[in-house]
């Protein structure tokens, strides 16, 4: 993938064709370098995967160096959903372009986000079901719960119990909503943890990625036995 196609950081395996793709979305007011430690942790477990950490689509307008996926200036609960969804076409194009360039299927793609990046990942999966196989959302929230749970994407919610930026109540409510709709979702809450990608949550995320069998797979297996 050339620099003109992608702005951010790439960690590519030695294989000619990676077997999985992880796209990591950073939070507000930082840049792609912020998620390099997380990428390295995942790379130990998935050495044959490609890791892309794109830059947010606009400069941070909060007065410091960094990037953002969407502006929070003047944002309210009423305009939050429109603000976020207006930024989704760029992310949708980025994901599809990366999959095409690296010859990776959506089922073998994971979208991993922190804070604002997690919000983007959740909203993208709600609108474009199946564009990725997994969403790993650290300290994120929906701006609006989806009317239908994603049928082709598994959602992993990870949150700090003491998060005062995005309250843990959002994660609990999202999990309850998705499970009520019979969606594939997991939740892990770390006590005494704030708004951060805590090692305990990274450990749980890796465990979920390695061991979680989607509900849809169970349903197919049960159906084949009848």
- CATH classification code of 8-225: 3.40.50.1820
- pLDDT of 226 reads 39
- pLDDT of 216 reads 55
| Residue from 163, 170, 184, 188 carrying the catalytic annotation | 163
**Each residue's pLDDT tens digit, 158-177:** 999 999 999 999 999 999 99
| Residue from 26, 128, 195, 198 carrying the catalytic annotation | 195
| Residue from 115, 125, 139, 143 carrying the catalytic annotation | 115
3-state secondary structure of 58: strand
**Each residue's pLDDT tens digit, 70-93:** 999 999 999 999 999 999 999 999
Longest dimension (CA), the chain: 61
**Each residue's pLDDT tens digit, 92-150:** 999 999 999 999 999 999 999 999 999 999 999 999 999 999 999 999 999 999 999 99
Catalytic, 143? Answer: no
For the beta sheet containing 49-54, the strands, ordered from the edge strand earlier in sequence to the opposite edge, are 8-11, 49-54, 20-25, 109-114, 134-138, 154-160, 185-190
Catalytic, 115? Answer: yes
- Between 217 and 160, the more confident residue is 160
Interacting residues of 69 by C-beta distance below 8 A, sequence separation 6+? 25, 28, 56, 57, 58, 84, 87, 91, 116, 117, 119, 120
Confidence of residue 223 (pLDDT cuts 50, 70, 90): low
**Each residue's pLDDT tens digit, 16-44:** 789 999 999 999 999 999 999 999 999 99
**Measured between alpha carbons, how far is residue 194 from residues 124, 140, 158, 190, 198 in Å?**
25, 12, 11, 9, 8
Confidence of residue 64 (pLDDT cuts 50, 70, 90): confident
Contacts 24+ apart (CB under 8 A), 192-197: 192/161, 192/162, 193/160, 193/161, 193/162, 193/163, 194/160, 194/162, 194/163, 194/164, 194/165, 195/115, 195/139, 195/160, 195/163, 195/164, 195/165, 195/166, 196/139, 196/160, 197/38, 197/114, 197/138, 197/139
Where in the chain are the domains?
8-225
Confidence of residue 218 (pLDDT cuts 50, 70, 90): very low
**Each residue's pLDDT tens digit, 174-211:** 999 999 999 999 999 999 999 999 999 999 999 999 99
């Amino acid at each position: 993938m050339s620099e003109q196609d992608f702005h951010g950081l790439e960690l590519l395996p030695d294989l000619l064709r990676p077997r999985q793709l992880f796209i990591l979305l950073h939070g507000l007011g930082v840049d792609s370098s912020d998620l390099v430690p997380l990428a390295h942790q995942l790379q130990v477990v998935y050495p044959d995967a490609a890791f892309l950490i794109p830059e947010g689509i606009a400069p941070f307008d909060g007065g410091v160096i960094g990037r953002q996926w969407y502006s929070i200036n003047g944002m309210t609960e009423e305009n939050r959903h429109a603000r976020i969804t207006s930024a989704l076409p760029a992310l949708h194009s980025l994901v599809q372009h990366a999959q095409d360039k690296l010859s990776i299927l959506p089922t073998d793609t994971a979208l991993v986000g922190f804070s604002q990046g997690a919000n983007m990942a959740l909203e993208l999966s709600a609108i474009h079901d199946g564009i990725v196989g997994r969403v790993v959302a650290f300290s994120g929230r929906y701006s609006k719960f989806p009317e239908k749970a994603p049928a082709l994407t598994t959602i992993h919610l990870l949150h700090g119990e003491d998060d005062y930026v995005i309250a843990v109540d959002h994660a609990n409510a999202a999990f309850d909503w998705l499970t009520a709709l019979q969606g594939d979702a997991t939740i892990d809450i770390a006590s005494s943890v704030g708004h951060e990608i805590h090692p305990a949550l990274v450990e749980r995320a890796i465990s979920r990625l390695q061991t979680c069998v989607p509900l849809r797979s169970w349903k197919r297996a049960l159906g084949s036995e009848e």
